[in-house]
Structure 1
């Protein structure tokens, strides 16, 4: 039996980054992945969806090229080409992860890992704290893994001193929906071979609004059904209102306060029909396809977690947020499987924290208040810290600065001047409590706001920082100054 200092279950951005950090610290490390290195982020989430969003954005920009003084004739969408570009980028990045595993001498097991016994005699004799059976398999194109257990091959057993669970999540399902190709999760939507003429998207959170924006730009008629009173309900209320207004201008229909009646959903060759309850009335909707985006469920089952002392609470693995350690002293968990902010960059940070805790180093686990969140719709959304309402609810007196992209020269140059930046600061000491953005490329410079929060900067300090002109980032300085009623450009 091969013995490792650290074994990691799951090769997504949490798992493979943890593996690299462990190797850097001199630990013999194994990574077990049942599908492909890169996990959901690379193959079913961040990268493929953002690649499609970029194509949709470019297609929309080309359709209005006349406003830039450019005549484009015969413009058409090659959706097969769009999908090919997506697959090519994913493949390139996957090869990059494979290279990093080899470079850092990390043993990668392709297959499903099953925890056998954390306290068994065999583990004790081997000088480790647990063993895992890896049911080996071979990756076959886009079809996943041919599980060796189904073909009669024996599992390989490996031992660990410490285990990191990074098994990720899957799209949450709604009970009672028909099993049909026209009723999709985001996983199935990525494999579409054409753009539907119309689609109903159930769920107006991050995934829902990204798909709504993308498919609208590709030419689909889009309806969003959201149970909450506003879309992207975890964002600042002003951001939600602005996104709804801009979606309305694009003819994206947004139905909030709407409950899907799951038993009413019917799918067939003609499309999908469904009913929603809204304001005490029942409305009937029809579309060519339906996309369900109501969050993600943690993968806590199927790999033997119950054979350890780790605890599952409210559907996720409970951990010490400082070290990522579970109730089992030799089992750690990171990423989507522990809930919280289910973001790739959070998982990576948690992976480093877990490894450094195992190695006895000072850890730097992510603070939710300083984690930047991004939505890649058109326009983009980005935020960090407290919303205005959350800051008020915490008992603070706040001051707010707000600045429009319409007064930013680079935004006008880009032809994208919708949106604004909003700064929420403590009225007593000027500390930046939250920054909320909607507009062009805001995901590319939310990092400045996150750094301001990490360093506990004040709005005046950030506002006085020299921002280069002409850039979109100038808006941060103006919004920060605006909190102190000193904005210069409006």
Structure 2
């Protein structure tokens, strides 16, 4: 079967690229060896957010019942299964999303730079797009040592969970599962979680983790593991003995390689496939998008690369990515979202900070919204913009455009914002900057 382009991998990068090519009227095939959607959609990013939204909805319902002195008679396992079932439905969602695109399941082997063998099928194409991503590494062969993949596949909520790591993945899962009522214990090699994140941005997250009785073992690591039928027991370097139903490893990943790729002369190492500025490999009809190319390792980067390479191939556009103004979010119960520099990034430099509590906005007051926003600026130029609150990630899209266009406080003062809305946080921060309020 001959295609205009074949995509190897159906994660956020591959799926987005395939849909873009469909819009250009191209004949597209997607090859997937496991679940449609990859880490971002099927087993990691989106499933974690589904559980986050699920448990936040439950907590709000419980708080509302409490305010009327009522009891919310809902079993937490039923709440958890609602999230689990939503995740299980993602495969049908993906099939609808990729309608009109031929799907092949199985391991693909590159026979030459134009031919891929998948099972009994020999598929030929003008271009290959490698979107295989990366996989979690579990440095422990115990059956109850797991990654996010296995965690998202658990139909029954565990009673207790040991998490190794203190990065974004670890703290998101810790905050969400602790809110479900799971006893979470975190073994963190560093002396704090999210060590690159400003302290004021972490305060709501730390409060949530502590209120839900998350235990921290800082500056520590696992030296010994014993597995039993229904639990796993670890001993740390500092002598702590900790029990959990599962031991979750986070943040360690390795490249998902394609059989036959290196035989064609494509340069790879353990972590990435080497590419040029247009995300093309040393073989001119093979491109790499998403985590497999080693650029930043974020789902929204992979998504944008999928669109950019489709434009490059079928609209003649050079690949241009605004990595310097990358928006990012940490999806705890209270999201930490931002763009540009943080105060830790600017340490030792000249800048000013303006902050506002979201309850001081008209819309924030109406929603009784907890959290705050801050801008970092110098001589009228915005250096960083950060928001901590419910669904603060939704405020970042417009902000990315501001930063891409070299946003200044003066430009903010000339723009119109819907009233009442949370987007008014930017002009309100501008007003505070006039007097230099912090």
TM over 0.5: yes
Tell me if structure 2 keeps the 8 A contact 1:42–1:94.
Answer: no
Q: Using a 3 Å threshold, how does the CA distance of structure 1 residues 95 and 193 change in structure 2: closer, same or farther?
A: closer
Q: Which digits, 9 at most, give the CA deviation of each residue in 1:85-136, with x for residues without a partner?
A: 5434652x54444334334xx3222222111123xxxxxxxxxxx211112x
- Taking the aligned partners of 2:410 and 2:7, their CA distance within structure 1 comes to 44
Q: Which residue of 1 aligns with 2:36?
A: 37
Unaligned stretches of 5+ residues in structure 1: 119-129, 136-154
Offset of residue 14 of structure 1: 1.0
Q: Which residue of 2 aligns with 1:134?
A: 118
Match for 1:316 among 266, 272, 295?
272
Query: Which secondary structure does the structure 2 equivalent of 1:444 belong to?
Result: helix
Tell me if structure 1 keeps the 8 A contact 2:84–2:155.
Answer: no
Q: Which residue of 2 aligns with 1:101?
A: 98
Matches within 5 A, 1:399-410: 399-410=352-363
- Taking the aligned partners of 1:81 and 1:29, their CA distance within structure 2 comes to 39
- Taking the aligned partners of 1:435 and 1:74, their CA distance within structure 2 comes to 38
Offset of residue 380 of structure 1: 0.9
State TM-score, norm by structure 1: 0.81
Aligned length: 438
Q: Using a 3 Å threshold, how does the CA distance of structure 1 residues 90 and 269 change in structure 2: closer, same or farther?
A: closer
Offset of residue 245 of structure 1: 4.1
Query: Which secondary structure does the structure 1 equivalent of 2:99 belong to?
Result: helix
Q: Which residue of 1 aligns with 2:205?
A: 243
Offset of residue 237 of structure 1: 4.3
Matches within 5 A, 1:59-74: 59-65=58-64, 69-74=67-72
Q: Using a 3 Å threshold, how does the CA distance of structure 1 residues 414 and 249 change in structure 2: closer, same or farther?
A: farther
Q: Which residue of 2 aligns with 1:4?
A: 3
Q: Which residue of 1 aligns with 2:351?
A: 398
- Taking the aligned partners of 1:350 and 1:333, their CA distance within structure 2 comes to 9
Offset of residue 365 of structure 1: 3.4
Offset of residue 274 of structure 1: 1.9
Q: Which digits, 9 at most, give the CA deviation of each residue in 1:13-44, with x for residues without a partner?
A: 21122112223334332211123332222211
Offset of residue 266 of structure 1: 1.9
Tell me if structure 1 keeps the 8 A contact 2:204–2:334.
Answer: no
Q: Using a 3 Å threshold, how does the CA distance of structure 1 residues 29 and 180 change in structure 2: closer, same or farther?
A: same
Q: Which digits, 9 at most, give the CA deviation of each residue in 1:164-211, with x for residues without a partner?
A: 10012222322xx24223x22111111223333322211122221111
Q: Which residue of 2 aligns with 1:424?
A: 376
- Taking the aligned partners of 1:85 and 1:215, their CA distance within structure 2 comes to 12
Q: Using a 3 Å threshold, how does the CA distance of structure 1 residues 200 and 252 change in structure 2: closer, same or farther?
A: same
Q: Which residue of 1 aligns with 2:282?
A: 327
Q: Using a 3 Å threshold, how does the CA distance of structure 1 residues 114 and 90 change in structure 2: closer, same or farther?
A: same
Alignment RMSD? 2.6
Query: Which secondary structure does the structure 2 equivalent of 1:219 belong to?
Result: coil
Query: Which secondary structure does the structure 2 equivalent of 1:351 belong to?
Result: helix
Q: Using a 3 Å threshold, how does the CA distance of structure 1 residues 461 and 29 change in structure 2: closer, same or farther?
A: same
Q: Which residue of 1 aligns with 2:224?
A: 264
Tell me if structure 2 keeps the 8 A contact 1:406–1:412.
Answer: yes
Tell me if structure 2 keeps the 8 A contact 1:401–1:485.
Answer: no
Q: Which residue of 2 aligns with 1:138?
A: none
Q: Which residue of 1 aligns with 2:133?
A: 168
Tell me if structure 2 keeps the 8 A contact 1:464–1:477.
Answer: no
Q: Which residue of 2 aligns with 1:77?
A: 75
Q: Which digits, 9 at most, give the CA deviation of each residue in 1:276-323, with x for residues without a partner?
A: 34xxx4433233332211243221x25322122221245111222x31
Unaligned stretches of 5+ residues in structure 2: none
